[in-house]
Every structure is written in C-alpha cells, then in structure tokens.
Amino acid sequence: MADTGGVSEPAPTGKKKRGFESAADMVRSLGLVLVIVVVAFFLAQPPESDKRAVRVVDPAGDIRSFAQVHPDVPVPTMTPTGWRATVADSGRDQLRVGWVTPAGTYVEYAASTAPAQEFVREFTGEAPEVGTVDVAGVAWAEHREAESTSLVLSAGGSTVIVGTLRSNASVADLRLLAGALTR
C-alpha cells in the first residue's frame, strides 16, 4: 500500500470528472431545452376566439349626456353604415367616441370645452396644422402627423377634433364623420 501521508483517496464513483463533457452530452442538453421551449410556445398560444375581436359599445348615452350639458357643441348622431363604435367615454366637459370602419381603419371623435390649445395638442399629438378642409361649407383646420390626420374645429368656447393621433382613417372618412355631426 502506498503512503498517502494520512490522507485517504476517494473511492471511484463511476461519474465523469467535471469539465470532460462530450459534444453528445451538450447536444442532449440542448435538445431537452429545445423540447421544453417548443411545448411552452404551443401552450402559450391564445385560442382562435381571442384573436382580433372588436368590442362594440353603444355611445348613445355618452353622446346624450354630453349634448345635454353642451347643446352648442356638434356631436355624432348618425354614423355611416357599417361603422362600429368601439370607444365611448364622456365627462362633464369632454366626449370621445371611436369607430372601426368596414375597411378596418379607426376613426375617432373628441370634443371638449377645455382650453383649445392644450386639448388639440393632446389629441393630435402636436401635429402641425397643414391647411384647411372644407366640410359642408365650414373650414376645419387640418393637422397632419406621420400616420394620422386630424380635422379641428374651434368655435364658441368648444373644440371638436375628428381623427385623433390614434386614428388611421383617410381624410375622406374624416370628412364623412365631420359632415354627420349635429348640434
């Protein structure tokens, strides 16, 4: 027996020493991780019923409440056929209603009796005024940002915006909505 200086050597356990893993060991580990990721990916997919459903709301109550307090502000009473209201939100001095058109674009109406400059900045995303658009003989200021156009009408202490920074509808759709507003 060899003299080990009083230190006993560990008995062999049959395990490989760390640091001597083979390429096959790494491929097996990677394969196991890949299987777990693929299973998790398929389990995390939403069901078909959850994809792109449009939630339709009835804006009539919000419009009526706002119009009763502010009868001089033009509000949407009729919208073109096929437009579906998806947003309706009102407060004492502000109304916001949004629609999805049959073409899949989004059109939004916003009105307020708050100071015009702040309201316009908030709802147009500080888009610059680029000109005017005639709607039934009334000149609306046209504000244009990279992907959104807004028509703004300020009169009598109120401001109406058709097409906000959230909108992606065409100027034709905005004119259609602006022409459908009544007091």
Instruction: Report mean pLDDT in 10-residue bins for the chain, 183 residues.
Output: 61 66 86 92 76 79 90 88 90 90 91 86 86 89 87 88 86 89 84
Q: Is the pTM of this model over 0.85?
A: no
Tokens of 111: 């009105």
CA–CA distance, 60 with 97 (Å, rounded to integer):
10
Pairing of strands 158-162, 181-182: unpaired
Backbone phi, psi, residue 132, to 5° = -130, 155
